[in-house]
Amino acid sequence: MSAGPLVATVVVIFAIIDEALQVLLVHRTGDPERGKWALPGGLWRGDEPLDRTAARKLTEETGAADLYLEQLFTTSDLDVGQPGVAVAYFALVDAAAVRLRIGDQWPPEWHRVDDLEPLAFDNNSVIAQALERARAKLDYTNIAYGLLPDEFTIRDLQGTYEAILGRDLDRRNFRKRMLSNGIIESTETRRHEGAHRPALLYRFVSREPVFL
């Protein structure tokens, strides 16, 4: 009797590191596609919801929990030698809160999204779809909260948007838009940044998904 179809989760984990959008990849130490970089993921055991499987994988790789996680798509093009489907998710994490898993097996590492080599299982296309989704949702949601700490400056927020969008934004227009859409509020405290005048700190009104 042939084995039944495999079901796996794949997670695209984005973070802003060195002012650039980066994605977490694991170096495959086993077949298939041994020696290539790939997105983290794992087989679904069937004893928990798929969303929980994806969230568990996210925590295992980054040490962080309760982050922005969204289902991206389902595909039957799972190239592991037998029929199967993959359920893809994408997540946004604050790099400062991440503690990557340590080990010789499938070691994780951050890679710049704009400088990726060909990945295992056509994972480049999965990342491209996740990036497209994230860019689109910046226009009508507050999902950027997943990439930032609890308190941040307008400059920090603009840098996050620019890293995702891959282009510069007008500083004055960006500030006006952020302050008028109601997703952030002032903390009434300031942060010293070198020789510059102290910058006012803001926070998201909600650190849960909100539609504008």
In tens, the pLDDT along 33-70 reads: 999 999 998 888 888 898 999 999 899 999 987 789 99
- From 80-89, 97-106, 147-156, the region with the lowest mean pLDDT: 80-89
Triad 134, 140, 146: Cα angle to 5°: 50
> 83: pLDDT confidence band, cut at 50, 70 and 90?
low
How far lies 48's CA from each of 57, 86, 154, in Å? 13, 16, 40
Asked whether the predicted pLDDT for residue 195 surpasses 80, the reply is: no
Residue partners of 204: CB distance under 8 A and separation at least 6: 142, 145, 148, 183, 184
Query: Which domains does the chain carry?
Result: 6-133 (3.90.79.10), 143-204 (1.10.10.10)
Cβ neighbours of 87 (radius 10 Å): 21
Element spanning 198, H or E: strand 196-204
pLDDT recorded at residue 79? 58
Asked whether the predicted pLDDT for residue 1 surpasses 50, the reply is: no
pLDDT recorded at residue 7? 87
Asked whether the predicted pLDDT for residue 132 surpasses 70, the reply is: yes
Element spanning 204, H or E: strand 196-204
